[in-house]
Amino acid sequence: MKTRLTILLAGLAPLAFIAQAADITNAMLENASKDTKNVLSFGMGSQGQRYSTLTQINTKTVGQLVPAWSFSFGGEKQRGQESQPIIANGKMFVTASYSRIFAIDLKTGNKLWKYEHRLPEAIMPCCDVVNRGAAVYGNLVIFGTLDAQLVALDQDTGKIAWKEKVDDYAAGYSITAAPLIAKGVLITGVSGGEFGIVGRVEGRDPLTGDLLWTRPTVEGHMGYRYDKDGKATEAGITGTVNKSWPGELWKTGGASTWMGGTYDPTTGLAYFGTGNPAPWNSHLRPGDNLYSSSTIALDPQTGQIKWAYQNTPNDSWDFDGANEFVTFDMNGKRYGGKADRNGFFYVIDAKTGQLQNAFPFVRKITWASGIDLKTGRPNFIAANRPSDPTKGDGKKGSTVFAAPAFLGAKNQMPMAYSPQTGLFYVPANEWGMEIWNEPISYKKGGAYLGAGFTIKPLNEDYIGALRAIDPKTGKIVWEDKNTAPLWGGVMTTAGGLVFYGTPEGYLKAVDAKSGKELWKFQTGSGVVAPPVTWEDGGVQYVAVVSGWGGAVPLWGGEVAKKVNFLEQGGSVWVFKLASKI
């Protein structure tokens, strides 16, 4: 591990580098949601609202939207492209499958440089070889890799400034999320819950990669803080050993933080969702299994957990809880909205973690009849939990039909919130699964499920549906149905528009108030990434990455067969109004 002292003593080149590193500041990142000329963070602002105040492209002009340029990621490395571009200083920084990142000239679409991380053959990503984006700070662009490393590159040259190993890929660790920078700290999570890793959030110095703190997200594990020389000091156990986990299972408990986090400057808190407990077979781990399938709020500078809310205690369906926590104002208070994989939308006080409301955002939920607003706990339907295989033949428990399916009512695809309409725009999926439990034991690097499953569509005519959700009432204001599952993110603008992509290859724009489709463009491959927008020289642009893949074709069962005609790809498309050509 490098230290600040090492950097300072290394000679004139590092000193020159440090002088350059003031390009993108903490103040710029805290105000990124208001910056119309750049897109400086994942979520179009650290709060994750994915809302732009730009209005040049609006309900009246969007029909004139045409391509400005397109850039191909090239080569044979296709698969899922889930990246959100970062726009900074006249450049686009966009990650691609297999841990690649490109710098592109915004005006011309020409490649400025490419970095292609060298991956070991033994990497074991759960859900495709995806990467969701990068972070920028100073003169660096920083992203995570499938072999669980963080890489910081010079924005101008693409040369490595620092590189740090986060954990052992051979044990199932990886990184797919875009990093978060809050209060000058680079904050990242880890992927790998299906391999029995231990989830955590950690903070680093973004200029050097030096580790500042780590906070495990499985109860019973110790957190640490690190001084300038890299010396570790214990910073308290997460929760209480064995309070909600039996025996030794907490040692391989999952709860990965694979989607990354958000940060709200008004509360001073960073918010991370945590994934499923391991293994899936819940009968092996009676208890709530804190802090799996939860939302946690952390102090960005120390990693201390300020509050936690568990969305699915003793998760038996791989519902996870890693979905983004998007902060917003309502009734004079600051809340967070979360469309959980388990099918419920949660409205939570962003400062205290107190549950305000919870309601379904999909049509069919079988595992619980609702959420008790007083206790915050789900009202489980016991008959719809997969049974204990040891109570039968010891090989397989009874099969139950559960909805949503484990891929979730909403998965990695980020939603958007519009302060203009007061609505959340949620890419939802209606599907179910046959699921059963099986015996399982932990083996380093091996799949750690203890369950079998088959995903099935619930309706003949659609699986995906973009839904406008009112967080005050819990009502679905409108919906746009889609034949295939929706797997790409959403953006909304002050021009009265909502943009989203479909696996069939379309980028669409609809009216934010009514859902009426106003424009669409065929990108040539499925869109499973979130769009962004910015302004340059008086012209508003919209961009989206295209490239079908992700978890659906790998894990989707009968659903995967329905969409096996879709073609892979790898490109980024940029659009502007024809009148601005």
Tally helices (H) and strands (E) across the chain.
5, 40
> Any idea how long the chain is?
581
Amino acid, single-letter form, for residue 240: T
Q: Is the dihedral of CA 578, 415, 553, 98 positive or negative?
A: positive
Predicted local confidence at residue 1, as pLDDT = 43
The C-alpha atoms of residue 258 and residue 217 are separated, in whole angstroms, by: 12
Range(s) of the domain holding residue 406: 4-580
Q: Is the dihedral of CA 222, 225, 226, 232 positive or negative?
A: negative
**Which residues in 283-320 are b (16+ Cβ under 10 Å) and which e?**
bbbebbbbbbbbbbbbbbbbbebbbbbbbbbbbbbbbb
pLDDT digits (tens, 9 = 90+) for 12-38: 333 333 334 348 999 999 999 999 999
Q: What is the pTM of this model?
A: 0.95
Residue 300: both structure tokens together? 């960005």
The C-alpha atoms of residue 65 and residue 532 are separated, in whole angstroms, by: 14
CA-to-CA separations, 422 to 249, 262, 410, in angstroms, rounded: 43, 19, 20
The C-alpha atoms of residue 76 and residue 83 are separated, in whole angstroms, by: 18
| Residue in 518, 483, 485, 482 with CA at minimum distance from that of residue 499 | 518
Residue 498: both structure tokens together? 């909502």
In contact, 226 and 210? CB cutoff 8 Å:
yes
Residue 51: both structure tokens together? 């809302």
| pLDDT tens over the chain, length 581 residues | 443 333 333 333 333 333 343 489 999 999 999 999 999 999 999 999 999 999 999 999 999 999 999 999 987 678 899 999 999 999 999 999 999 999 999 999 999 999 999 999 888 788 899 999 999 999 999 999 999 999 999 999 999 999 999 999 999 999 999 999 999 999 999 999 999 999 999 999 999 999 999 999 999 999 999 999 999 999 999 999 999 998 999 999 999 999 999 999 999 999 999 999 999 999 999 999 999 999 999 999 999 999 999 999 999 999 999 999 999 999 999 999 999 999 999 999 999 999 999 999 999 999 999 999 999 999 999 999 999 999 888 889 999 999 999 999 999 999 999 999 999 999 999 999 999 999 999 999 899 999 999 999 999 999 999 999 999 999 999 999 999 999 999 999 999 999 999 999 999 999 999 999 999 999 999 999 999 999 999 999 999 999 999 888 888 788 888 888 888 899 999 999 999 87
pLDDT digits (tens, 9 = 90+) for 313-339: 999 999 999 999 999 999 999 999 999
The answer to whether residue 318 is catalytic is: yes
In contact, 440 and 448? CB cutoff 8 Å:
yes
Longest dimension (CA), the chain: 70
Q: Which of 318, 320, 340, 480 is catalytic?
A: 318
Predicted local confidence at residue 562, as pLDDT = 80
Structural domains counted in the chain: 1
The C-alpha atoms of residue 531 and residue 448 are separated, in whole angstroms, by: 34
C-alpha torsion angle, residues 61, 64, 65, 67 (rounded to 10) = -160
416-418 sheet: strands from edge to edge: 416-418, 423-429, 464-469, 476-482
**CATH at residue 238:** 2.140.10.10
The C-alpha atoms of residue 198 and residue 254 are separated, in whole angstroms, by: 5
